[in-house]
Amino acid sequence: MEQKLEFAFRQTMPAQPLHFDESKCVGCHACMEACMIDVMTPGEEGHPPVVSFPDECWYCGCCVMECQTGAITLRHPLMNQTRWVEKASLKKE
Ligand code: SF4
Ligand code: SF4
């Protein structure tokens, strides 16, 4: 009997680069205006913008710097969190 193989593509979740603290956000949308590549689109009045294109984010931090209330936290992907260290520091004493 012929064995039938099945394949499936694993879907990865889109990155969520921005986290808004709603208690700090005044809904000015200055962060959205600062983003050069329009990751965000307008949200409801008095609320943060909507992160409509999260995979396009460059993690440049411009929106974070523009926010006057400190309402945005940038969530870097794991790949960006790696740290460069001296090779010698990895050797056992
Ligand atoms: S700049 Fe800050 S306060 Fe203004 S909408 Fe963006 S997150 Fe909210
Ligand atoms: S980190 Fe930069 S690219 Fe990403 S949303 Fe903010 S301003 Fe846009």
Tokens of 3: 């064995």
**Nearest protein Cα to ligand 2, atom 7:** 35
Assessment of whether the complete model's pTM goes beyond 0.85: no
Is residue 38 included in any domain, yes or no? yes
pLDDT in tens, 23-82: 999 999 999 999 999 999 999 999 999 999 999 999 999 999 999 999 999 998 888 888
Number of domains present in the structure of the chain: 1
Which domain CATH number covers 29? Answer: 3.30.70.20
**Ligand 1 interacting residues, C-beta cut-off 6 A:** 20, 25-31, 48, 66-67, 69, 71-72
Is residue 4 included in any domain, yes or no? no
Q: Are 39 and 51 in contact (CB under 8 A)?
A: yes
* Choice from 21, 29, 63 to test ligand 1 binding pocket (greatest atom count within 8 A of CB): 29
Question: Distance between terminal CA atoms of the chain?
Answer: 60
Is residue 87 included in any domain, yes or no? no
pLDDT in tens, 77-89: 888 888 888 888 8
Q: Are β-strands 18-20 and 72-74 bridged in parallel, bridged antiparallel, or unpaired?
A: antiparallel
User: Tokens 């974070």 map to which residue?
Assistant: 64
